[in-house]
Structure 1
């Protein structure tokens, strides 16, 4: 018998060692609480952004798509009026506007996916 318990700890170690361990434990506990509170604050701010950013992203994507179609249709109408080519300018530029709207939506969705 060496005077140690079964865990290998000396039951009669000096009180100053216990005090230093207690102070280290309190210091580590305070640091852990600080880091945890910072992580929780970041998590709350991110969750608030994701709730509203989903609606914002949907509005942005739909606006990009509709804007492409409207601009294509408007330019097609103007070309038809200017050159008297009705309805071919409207059809061609409306289709180009549709394609541009789809490309804008895909590009914006990829950028949003990369950002998150």
Structure 2
């Protein structure tokens, strides 16, 4: 029988893979709106464990600035702010993953 920790690991790997593909698809779709707009990527690491990729497009034809970010971080202990109302979670390990978007399209009405 598969250990629950192994299942959690497999599920986390599948989610991370999905989110990385999602980030790629979003960036490709946004880049396709212009012949010249391209994202630049910055890989980063989280000191507690994990990391991510920040992708930024600046001064484009369609977007003044756009960011599509992926992160997957983990740690051995939740921060105090996360356990203030849930003391049963104190000293518990954590992991968090996500893709975030911030899009600022060009606006001819803004100087």
Normalised by the length of structure 1, the TM-score is 0.36
Bigger fraction of residues in strand: 2
**TM-score normalised according to structure 2 size:** 0.37
Higher helix content, 1 or 2:
1
CA radius of gyration, larger in: 1
